[in-house]
Each structure stands twice: as C-alpha cells, then as structure tokens.
Chains A and B, each alone.
Chain A
C-alpha cells in the first residue's frame, strides 16, 4: 500500500522551474505527490526521508535535465527506484527537460528508452500525461484505488464545479475545512445573515481576548478562470462584493447577526474560494495577487488551498482530521 502516488526526483537547481510546477499540476489533478521541496521539514534526515519517499510512492518521476545529469544525488535516487522495479512492476517515469535524447541517454543509459514525457509542450501537458498513467486503475496507485477526501474533492470539481455543489460536498467532508482553517471552534453552514447568505462561516475562540474570530466564506465555481490575465473575473468581484454587503448589513444589525454567528464582529475575515491555482509567475497569478493586495478584510483563495489541506491531512496521520 503506497502513501503517495508520485515521488519526484530532481536536482535542486530544477526545483522551481520543473519540480514544483509539475508537483502543483499533479496535485490539482488529485494526485498525491512527494517532493523534497515541499515535504522535507527541519530535523528530517535527508537520506531517510528520501528513502521513505521512494518506498512509499507508487511511481517515481525522474526529472532529467543537464543539471541532474551532472548530479550524484538524483542518480542515487534513480538507482533506488530502479531497484524497486525488480518485481517487474513499472515504477520509474523519466521526464525530460532542456536536454535532448542523446544527452539523456548518455547520462542515464538505463532509462534512455523509457521516456514518459517531456516539458517541451509545457508542464501542464506533461502533468496530463503522467496523471493518465497514475490514475489508470490497473496501476493500483493510491489515487486510483483509495477514495480519499482530497481525491474525492478533485473528483467533485470534475463532476460539478458549482459553488453550491462543492459546498454540499465540503459539508459532508467537514474535516477538510478543519484541516485548512486550523483551530476551529465553530462551523456554521449556509448561514443566512439578514437578507444575505454565505456558504459557511468558521470561528476560532481567542480565549485571551474573549473574542470569536469569524471567517465568512463564499464558494465560487471551481472552474472559474479567476482572471483573463488583465483584470479579475467579474464573478469573483461579485462574490467579494457580497461579503462587503454582509459587512455593511451587519454594522447596522449586529444583534441579529449574532443570533446566527455567535459574537461575530463587523471586522470579520471574508473569504472567496474559487478556481484552481494559477501557475506561479503567470499573468493570472499576478492579477489575483494584486486583487488580494487591494482588498480589505477579504481574501480570494483557490480551491487548491483546500486540496492541499486534504492531502496533507491524509499524509500526516498525526495532523488534524
């Protein structure tokens, strides 16, 4: 039984350009990815941790670049992966970046004929190819066999990405919300706040200040484009405006609001969750960042925030669940 679907072996120089973007693209497809840049924490012994990644992952994606070809460490990881293939089950998925076949064959002769994909058509296209292999039921990877909350959440996006449908799913998987928000003392689903409504509200009780710190959340579509690369999507702006309307109504009707949300304050944190995480450095990511920078007490997050929390919850048995 594997804990992760994919372990990504890469040279540290390729972390930001290839490994992390590829991991993000795989994760948004519901694949559990182990990558040293994300999972290694202070105090972990590197060799033990990597060994753990290799033995607990169904597939090892080896990123072959001119940098990794010159490195001993990724070669060690590759040899370990190949050793695990002794039972004849395919485990190694080499991917190529910034290197031609001849160069890769010279550096890694054992896997020269096992090309799984390359980044030439973009990271997203490569992720689609890898995801197809990983999610194939015959390969028995965790994502294809285990009905985990994170995988079910991603499947929900594919089945019905509308806000109400995702809310209903999350209500049935409340532990995802608890994992994402951290300490949670109260959750109210679909609160009617005067003439307004939200999808959920989450509170943490600050004991030292005797205050309930509320986040009021509106869920948008999971397939929202978020932005056209120039301005924020109009639907996102409408959802953010709904939160401001709630705040304004609450200012004049605090007692009534508190009948629904215990000791809520007008300065609550508003949150819109919509769309999927744009590639770092993309124009959509830049628009989203600038939009968030201008918002007061409202933050737009992508659903990948919840997906990450769901998978982290699965991977960390000691975590909140």
Chain B
C-alpha cells in the first residue's frame, strides 16, 4: 500500500522541469501528482503506481530531474523487503513479467504455458519456477479466495491483472479459473535447483527490483554489493549459491523473452557486481526470422503477450527443431 501521507508531502522538480507540489489521487494503476510548470500553469503528472520508489517512500528516480535518494537509506529500506511476497506488485519490471505470464496462462492454460516456454527455447524449469514462486501464488490466491457474490452490478465483470496485460473476466469465472490454476501449478513437478519458494529471500531479487526501477548508478553498485555482502554474506560462497544463481538467471531470461524493452541488463550488472556472472540468452531478432507472415506488433497490451516483439515463436520453434 502506498503511503498517501508521504505522497502528499512530496515536493520535487520532475524531469519535465515542473515542480511537483503534492498528491492529487492514487488509483489502482496510477499515481497522479499535482504540479506547477515554470510558467505557473497547474498540471498533473500521471505515472504508473507499480514503481518501487512509491512503495519505499523514495521519489522514483525516473521522474526526478536530479537524484533525490541516498544509497544507504535505500539499502536499509530494501533489506526490509526481504521475504515480502508482494514485491512483484511494487515493481514495474516484475509486475510486467508476472502479469504477462498470468495472462498467458489464462489464455492457454498451465500446460500450454509450460509447453510454449519449452518451444520458445526457454527451459521448462524457468516457467515452472515462475509459476511456483510466492508472487504468482499470491496473485492467484487473491482471485481464488474472492467472494463469489458480486457487491453490485459493477462488480460482476472485472478488469484485473494491471494495465499492461489486462484481463476482462466475469467474477465467478475468474475465481474458478484461479482455483483451477493453483491446483494445476501445485501438481507440476518442482523445478530442479531453483527453490522458487525462496525467491523472495534472494537479495538480488529484491535489489534487482530497485536497479531496474532506476535506483543506483553504475558507480554506486560497488557500495550496494558491499552492503549486500555485509548483510547476506558473500553470495558466491554461500551454500545455496546454485539456487541463488539459477533464480537470477531464470528471472533474467524470463524478462528477456517476455518483456519488450526490459531493464534486464541492469539486473545482470547488479548480479555481476555481487559476484554472480551470467548472461541471459538473447531474444531472437526479427531479421533472424525465416517467415515474417506471423509478425508481431510488439504491443504489450496486444492479445499475445507471450510473444516477444519482432519475432514469432513458431519461427523460433522451427529453427530449434531444425537444429539451427
């Protein structure tokens, strides 16, 4: 929950040079701030509420003209997020990843999503991993445990899953689908060496949310790495290094494959600063395609969120099968 008292107290210069003077309103998808242009004209700034800064009471770096955060303070705040199962709801990149996979599952089912993941060149385990994380369970349980009776007529058909990959679905149908999906995910085999239930305790998952939301310059990453080592040990030397590394790799590859223009490079850089070096496999480019008839417009709100921009999973599947 975003602290509205804190939002009301916000005063800063935004990227556009306008002075933010407080809060207009918060909604389920956006935060609207009051602002004054250099010419003295009142305007409002509307921004996505899934920004980590709003949740940790720090001005999101992507909306400020100058740096407003303190590295030490942000580190302390992030440490308090260890174990939170709703980090994916606070962060733009994770929210986009989870909501894209959620809509994919809603469209083609759990087995379909796992199969498609394999066909796209991802290991089955990466999709299994995400489906079995606390964040996905929380999202589905939220719907599965909803009251079946609608409060009124406006409550009968719901628009859920956020603004990027919205799902319009009758309440009763949503509840039934979420319950069935939870059961199906429960029955899936556990992914090897990925320990999805411990993802929320992985410091790189938590700090990764921050770097992808614009916190910490490259110059600040060594100080961040030092802080993580001080509080969580030297990651490469930890007993659970393999699940830690595999979780990071899985998250990076899922974002690479499923999100358009993701900030995954910053996440990879953070992991490297902490001694975990890996490079996610790159997403195939459109020029690699053998057949362009099944093109993709790359719009995340399009009905096929699983397809990465500029390519076709059928094309990659054919390449994979042909051994290219």
A and B: bona fide binding partners: yes
Chain A residues within 8 Å of B, Cβ to Cβ: 205-211, 213, 248, 251, 254-255, 258, 262-263, 265-269, 293-294, 296-297, 299
Nearest CB of chain A from residue B32's CB, rounded to whole Å = 13
**Complex alpha-carbon distance, A269 and B5, angstroms:** 12
Known: A208-B27, A251-B134. A262 touches B147 (CB 8 A): yes
Check B76–A296 contact: CB distance below 8 A: no
Known: A209-B28, A263-B146, A296-B81. 5 other contacts (CB 8 A): A213-B1, A251-B138, A262-B147, A267-B89, A269-B3
Interface size class of B (residues with CB under 8 A): 20 to 34
**Complex alpha-carbon distance, A211 and B144, angstroms:** 14
Contacts of B151 in A (CB 8 A): 205, 210
Known: A251-B85, A262-B147. A296 touches B28 (CB 8 A): no
Using CB atoms, name the residue of chain A closest to B5: A299
Cβ of B142 under 8 Å from chain A: yes
In the complex, which of the residues B77, B145, B171 contacts A258, with contact meaning CB atoms closer than 8 Å?
A: B145
Cβ of B158 under 8 Å from chain A: yes
Using CB atoms, name the residue of chain A closest to B85: A251
Check A255–B145 contact: CB distance below 8 A: yes
Check A209–B27 contact: CB distance below 8 A: yes
Check B27–A296 contact: CB distance below 8 A: no
How many residue pairs link A and B with beta carbons under 8 A? The number is 60
Contacts of A293 in B (CB 8 A): 6, 57
Check B1–A207 contact: CB distance below 8 A: no
Cβ of B281 under 8 Å from chain A: no
Contacts of B29 in A (CB 8 A): 209
Question: CB within 8 Å of A: which of B100-159?
Answer: 134, 138, 141-142, 144-147, 151, 154-155, 158
Cβ of B13 under 8 Å from chain A: no
Nearest CB of chain B from residue A232's CB, rounded to whole Å = 14
- Pairs A–B under 8 Å by Cβ, sample size 13: A206-B28, A208-B27, A209-B28, A248-B83, A251-B138, A254-B141, A258-B146, A263-B146, A263-B147, A266-B138, A296-B55, A297-B3, A297-B55
**Complex alpha-carbon distance, A264 and B76, angstroms:** 28
Nearest CB of chain B from residue A281's CB, rounded to whole Å = 16
Check A294–B80 contact: CB distance below 8 A: yes
Contacts of A297 in B (CB 8 A): 1, 3, 55
**Complex alpha-carbon distance, A299 and B1, angstroms:** 11
Contacts of B134 in A (CB 8 A): 251
**Complex alpha-carbon distance, A213 and B154, angstroms:** 17
**Complex alpha-carbon distance, A207 and B158, angstroms:** 11
Contacts of A266 in B (CB 8 A): 85-86, 138
Using CB atoms, name the residue of chain A closest to B150: A210
Contacts of A263 in B (CB 8 A): 146-147
